[in-house]
């Protein structure tokens, strides 16, 4: 399956035969007090730094979330999308729980965006999927509904099936434009949770061959040495069929683990990118003082 | 499946519900010129250092290989096994391509050893498996025979089936004492090779539920940043069913990736070992000068 995303001038493909798609998570006020205050004042100056750092780190798509408490999320999303598209040619992932913010982001966006996200709740499907269709976007879909976030991977698989049926049958969205989020939970809350995520990835991959993405940072939440956990988790999930993650693209350890897994899964012909990245790192180290 | 290994006083279990079994690869003269010369002179003084470093790094079993050119491997194996058992209570993996060296090692060994290894070649099976049975040892079996090292995972699976039939049926070895080596090859030689290893692991796990180990260092051979490759490979293989690896137990990055994968696969209840390892690292860093 190939999910094609586009900015005005650049195309990025998410797929099982492609390098893993690193979606930069950083443009998001959650847990960032200073950034939240800036957004309440309508100050988007921080966003340019976030873009630059993520591009330097290896992001291939950038998530944009403007959900700060008491801020005008709709207006901020419109402005942020324009601002980010003015400074990078990476495609964007328009991220909000507010339908009007998704709509404002999609209206402002030039290209084919990824919408983050919609659950299997009926009213959400009815509100979000027409937007996705009208803007010819791709969409991240979560297998939880009104009644539950299912623990059992097989129940999640049933919801995935329903999501695919509704998106393709009722709304005419192409199956290649569906990206499933298999629901990554903190291992620190319950050490059985990640097994369920991995099993869900395996089932969705075997059964539907759909592209998948998830919030990789969730997994290590609350634990020490988060980079160590994330650097193991992403390759594990990739081995089972995960094709993308919303992650900290500024974290060199994490990005290196993605690139190593790309090499091992034969998504880096001749290892050329792995070797080039190693050389670039060596050159930077030689140039660095001390 | 639970493969139980024992020294005189300690038991280690390889299994899908156990922490991943780290087998230290270091007591092996391959690629170590000074050590080879020492072994030719009958000097085993280096072995104690290798034991100490691997134990400190987190080895749970130690591989012992005395295959230096022009050295008396049989006599060295007998002495090395006694020496290592005198300084550590970890179970050992007796590693040789020479049947007499395996026999000498098993004769000298106190406990239940792991024998490394036997292929599906008829004369090797006939020579090695009676030894394994007589010493009530466990054995690493490789799915390659007289005619080929098969590239195709399904062909490897056929050979695994034959290995299991022969070991259990003809020699009366318990299926729980069989550890399959799914054949790890250098990704630098051909970037499609690791996919085949991963697929083999998945198939052996799904079909037979057997324990598996492999030489993890092979995978990164000839490539830059070997630790980066190994730290991604082992968690990937673990996600698909690998339960052990013969690896560099002195490499902190690699061991950390194993422990992270153990945590994520729910083999570290409450994350207690992950948290304790992090604290120990912090304490060492605080105590270290500078």
Determine the Cα angle at A212 with ends A209 and A214, to 5°.
160
List beta partners, residue B225: none
Q: Which pLDDT score, from 0 to 100, does residue B290 have?
A: 55
State whether B263 and A191 contact (CB < 8 Å). yes
- Arithmetic mean of pLDDT over chain B: 97
Q: Which pLDDT score, from 0 to 100, does residue A290 have?
A: 55
Nearest to A245 by CA among A230, A260, A226, A229: A230
Q: Which pLDDT score, from 0 to 100, does residue A288 have?
A: 77
Q: What's the gap in Å between the CA of B240 and the closest CA on chain A?
A: 7
For residue B196, what pLDDT band results from cuts at 50, 70 and 90?
A: very high
Q: Which pLDDT score, from 0 to 100, does residue A143 have?
A: 97
What's the rounded mean pLDDT across residues B208-216?
98
Nearest to A135 by CA among A5, A283, A280: A5
Q: Percentage of chain A with pLDDT > 70?
A: 99
Q: With contact defined as beta carbons under 8 Å apart, do B176 and B41 qualify? A: no
Reading the block at residue A279, the tokens are 């050389």
Q: What's the gap in Å between the CA of A282 and the closest CA on chain B?
A: 11
What whole-number distance in Å separates Cα of residue A37 and Cα of residue A42?
9
**Is-above-0.95 flag for pTM?**
yes
E strands, A130-288, are 138-142, 178-180, 211-212, 244-247
What's the rounded mean pLDDT across residues B82-95?
98
In this model, does residue B115 exceed pLDDT 70?
yes
For residue B37, what pLDDT band results from cuts at 50, 70 and 90?
A: very high
Q: Which residue of A58, A239, A256 to mutate against B (max B Cβ within 10 Å)?
A: A239
What's the rounded mean pLDDT across residues B259-288?
94
What's the rounded mean pLDDT across residues B69-89?
97
| Residues lower than pLDDT 50 in chain A | none
Q: Which residue of A58, A195, A198, A263 to mutate against B (max B Cβ within 10 Å)?
A: A263
Q: Which CATH number fits domain A2-281: 3.20.20.20, 3.40.50.1000, 1.10.10.60, 3.30.365.10?
A: 3.20.20.20
Q: With contact defined as beta carbons under 8 Å apart, do B183 and B9 qualify? A: no
- Which residue is closest to A195 within chain B, CA to CA? B265
Q: Which pLDDT score, from 0 to 100, does residue B180 have?
A: 98
B12 contact partners, CB below 8 Å, separation of at least 6: B4, B5, B6, B21, B60, B61, B90, B91
Q: In what order do the strands lie in the sheet with B61-65?
A: B211-212, B178-180, B138-142, B114-119, B92-95, B61-65, B21-27, B244-247
């Amino acid at each position: 399956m190939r999910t094609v995303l586009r900015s005005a001038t650049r195309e990025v493909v998410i797929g099982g035969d492609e390098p893993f798609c690193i979606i930069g998570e950083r443009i998001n006020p959650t847990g960032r007090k200073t950034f939240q205050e800036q957004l309440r004042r309508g100050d988007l100056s921080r966003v340019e730094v976030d873009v630059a750092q993520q591009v330097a780190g290896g992001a291939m798509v950038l998530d944009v979330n403007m959900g700060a408490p008491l801020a005008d999320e709709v207006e901020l999303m419109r402005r942020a999308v324009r601002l980010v598209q003015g400074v990078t040619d990476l495609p964007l992932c328009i991220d909000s729980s507010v339908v009007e913010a998704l709509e404002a982001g999609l209206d402002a966006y030039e290209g084919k965006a990824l919408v983050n996200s919609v659950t299997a709740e009926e009213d959400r499907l009815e509100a979000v999927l027409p937007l996705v269709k009208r803007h010819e976007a791709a969409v991240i879909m979560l297998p939880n509904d009104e009644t539950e976030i299912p623990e059992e991977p097989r129940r999640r698989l049933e919801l995935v099936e329903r999501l695919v049926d509704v998106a393709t049958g009722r709304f005419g969205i192409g199956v290649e434009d569906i990206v499933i989020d298999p629901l990554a939970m903190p291992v620190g809350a319950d050490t059985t949770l990640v097994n369920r995520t991995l099993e869900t990835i395996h089932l969705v991959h075997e059964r539907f061959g759909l592209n998948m993405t998830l919030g990789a940072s969730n997994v290590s939440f609350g634990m020490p040495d988060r980079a160590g956990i994330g650097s193991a988790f992403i390759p594990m999930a990739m081995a089972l069929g995960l094709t993308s993650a919303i992650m900290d693209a500024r974290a060199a350890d994490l990005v290196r683990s993605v690139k190593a897994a790309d090499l091992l899964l034969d998504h880096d012909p001749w290892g050329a990118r792995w070797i080039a990245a190693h050389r670039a790192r060596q050159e930077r180290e030689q140039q660095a003082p001390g």
